[in-house]
Amino acid sequence: MSSKNELDVYLFHRGEHKRAYEFMGAHSIPGGIIFRVWAPNARSVSVVGDFNSWNGRNHSMKRINAEGIWEVEIEGLSEGTIYKYAIEGQNGTIVNKSDPYAFYSEVRPNTASVIYPMKTYEWTDEKWIKRRDKLNHYENPMNIYEVHLGSWKRGGDGEFLNYREMADDLAKYVKNMAYTHVEIMPVGEYPLDASWGYQGTGYYSVTSRYGNPEDLKYFVDALHKKNIGVILDWVPGHFCKDTHGLYRFDGTPTYEYSWNLLGENYDWGTANFDLGRNEVRSFLISNALYWMREFHIDGLRIDAVANMIYLDYGKNGHPELRNEYGGNENLVAVEFLRRVNKAVLEEFPGNYVFAEESTAWPMVTKPDYVGGLGFTYKWNMGWMNDTLDYMSKDSLYKKWHHENITFSFVYAYAENYTLPLSHDEVVHGKKSLIDKMPGSYEEKFPNLRCLYGYMMGTPGKKLLFMGGEFGQFAEWKFDEGLDWHLLDYPKHKEMKRYVRDLNRFYKREKSLWEKDIHGDGFQWIDCLNHEESLISFIRRGKDKDEFLVGVFNFTPVERRGYKVGVPRFTVYEEVFNSDLKIYGGNTEKVREEIHPVREGWNDMKQHILIDVPPLSAVYYKGKFKRRG
């Protein structure tokens, strides 16, 4: 064994290998392919495929160390050869397994791995990468369009589009709609379409549903050329139990916890990764970096973090699931998350890692050296639940639930938050966003415009799932394209224009994002008007003259001559109004000038008098400088 290979083996078994995919798996050598796989409790391992009629007698692998790495060189094999590992367990049972480190796989329902040497791709996104690495993303706009690649659009006969076919259309669409990032649901190989990619088998294998690895690179490159970042959903907590996958890989728990109570995820029918096992850590940390190195992914959104950090998550507080100190925290998972976040941000300091974490676990976005988990952002699930609950109520009852729209501001700066209106909120009988809104067909649209306008003013980065931008009425369906035909109807066309203009407004106004993680970037004007279900607040930028006054009316009643305290005695102008006729509302045009009154109101020395449209989000700005 070469000295380099010895180092690979050493790092792999210590859980410190950050490029495990360059050593493990199938790789080209002069005249053929070398295969390596980790199967510590296997009695024997062979490589099988069409090339040997799926009989591994002549291609047995040699165990190269006591910790269970197996290796064989096979001459004459090349790119495109399909293969699996025939793994004999200690009981003599042989199971054919896909390669955990394969870069490509057969199109489902077939399950074999495909020899696919990583190719050199001619990237054209150098400007984007340089800009990304220099940018302080905390103090810049981040407005994310979440996409499921299999159902954004479909081909004429309902077939999947290729990554390349989607790339240019999606990049142009997202650019026009003024989003800053796209988040794509998992693209590692997975067997069941209905799992949306969250129950995987091939963590390094770009799903062949939509093309090959070079096609995915083209997709990312195309978005980067439009100055659109790409975030990838990543699932290091659990994996599916299909026979050809990671489950019981060598006949025993290998990638999953050995204790069934901890290793089995009964609610989801999956298995939980053993995040304390060194070889699993090398596998997963290398995988996180793989997507960033090889595919120029800008960020990862880690799915189901709560399932990882609580021993008894989904187990009804099982008394046996306790750590050495008696708590229910999964200490090895906590350490793993700190390691993976540190590894990502050390190598890619301009990138970001999001936690989809639904509990009150403290310091999720604080550094590991102060006891945090080290994420850059956390999805604000509390804001999402409270806000959607409030917005779905009839306006008559909102005054009794006013805290649902104000409470999230109490903890808005406890973490670096992202506000998610994601795919999870528009499936499984939860209704689409537009259909959650109360009232008739016509009344739902101003409610939704108000929600989006309020969301843009709330501290935190933004995320909206595809279809929400034009008011898709049906719940999301993973097996068909969005209802783009709705854009033939005026209300949906107006909604799309509204979201586009709102996104552009967000990007333009520094006060909506420059101090997203600083508490002095937000100030209440009035959070107590529950009787009229109306709130107002200030968002501030770094410049003392950079601020917006936002007023939000959550009822269908116009409030005429409404007093709003303002922080400076200057002329104000209305800079955004969700009730404009071009968006389907009733207001003809914005008010160009509003002069304040020197009378104290809302604990401020002056106020403005405004007419607040029904179900509206309206923003005002002081006229201190010439606006370009």
What domains can you pick out in the chain, each with its CATH number?
3-114 (2.60.40.10), 520-622 (2.60.40.1180)
The per-residue pLDDT for range 430-462, each reduced to its tens digit, is 999 999 999 999 999 999 999 999 999 999 999
pTM: 0.96
pLDDT at 17 over 80: yes
Query: Which amino acid type is present at position 472?
Result: Q
Radius of gyration, CA atoms only, the chain: 27
Mean pLDDT in residue range 509-532? 96
pLDDT classification of 628: cutoffs 50, 70, 90: very low
Number of H helices and number of E strands within the chain?
Answer: 13, 28
Give the residues across from 35 on adjacent strands: 26, 72
Which pair of structure tokens corresponds to residue 556? 């269908």
**Is-catalytic flag, 545?**
no
Mean pLDDT in residue range 101-118? 96
The per-residue pLDDT for range 535-576, each reduced to its tens digit, is 999 999 999 999 999 999 999 999 999 999 999 999 999 999
pLDDT at 472 over 90: yes
**Is-catalytic flag, 50?**
no
Which pair of structure tokens corresponds to residue 212? 């090959």
Confidence (pLDDT) at 624: 78
Helices (H), 414-526: 433-436, 441-457, 490-508
SS3 574: strand
Give the residues across from 354 on adjacent strands: 301, 377
Integer CA distances (angstroms), 241 to 253, 263, 280, in order: 11, 11, 16
* CB-CB contact of 9 with 2 (8 Å): no
Taking Cα atoms as reference points, which of 89, 117, 87 lies closest to residue 103? 117
Contacts of residue 76, Cβ cutoff 8 Å, sequence gap at least 6: 31, 32, 51
Q: Which of 256, 274, 279, 356 is catalytic?
A: 356
* CB-CB contact of 340 with 219 (8 Å): no
Confidence (pLDDT) at 118: 85
Backbone angles phi, psi at 273, to 5 degrees: -60, 140
Mean pLDDT in residue range 383-389? 97
Which pair of structure tokens corresponds to residue 31? 């005249």
By 3-state DSSP, what share of the chain in percent is helix, strand and coil, each rounded to 5? 30, 25, 45
* CB-CB contact of 232 with 300 (8 Å): yes
pLDDT at 626 over 80: no
Looking up tokens 């509206």 gives: 616
Average pLDDT for the chain = 96
- Residue 215 burial (C-beta neighbours within 10 Å; 0-12, 13-18, 19+): middle
Q: How does 252-268 read in b/e, with b if 16+ C-beta sit within 10 Å?
A: ebbbbbeeeebbbbeeb
* DSSP output for 553-579: E-SSS-EEEEEEEESSSS-EEEEEETT
Q: Which of 250, 279, 303, 514 is catalytic?
A: 303
Where are the strands (E) in 369-521, listed by range?
Answer: 377-379, 417-421, 461-465
End-to-end alpha carbon distance in the chain: 66
- The DSSP element (H or E) to which 525 belongs, if any, is strand 522-526
Taking Cα atoms as reference points, which of 42, 39, 59, 63 lies closest to residue 50? 59
The per-residue pLDDT for range 418-429, each reduced to its tens digit, is 999 999 999 999
pLDDT at 111 over 80: yes
Give the residues across from 85 on adjacent strands: 47, 97
Mean pLDDT in residue range 348-365? 96
The per-residue pLDDT for range 284-338, each reduced to its tens digit, is 999 999 999 999 999 999 999 999 999 999 888 888 999 999 999 999 999 999 9
SS3 409: helix
Question: Could you tell me what percent of the chain has a pLDDT over 90?
Answer: 94
Q: What number of other Cβ atoms are within 10 A of residue 491's Cβ?
A: 17
Mean pLDDT in residue range 241-261? 97
pLDDT classification of 269: cutoffs 50, 70, 90: very high
Query: Which amino acid type is present at position 126?
Result: E
> How far apart are the C-alpha atoms of 353 and 376, rounded to whole Å?
5
Contacts of residue 557, Cβ cutoff 8 Å, sequence gap at least 6: 395, 532, 614
Contacts of residue 488, Cβ cutoff 8 Å, sequence gap at least 6: none
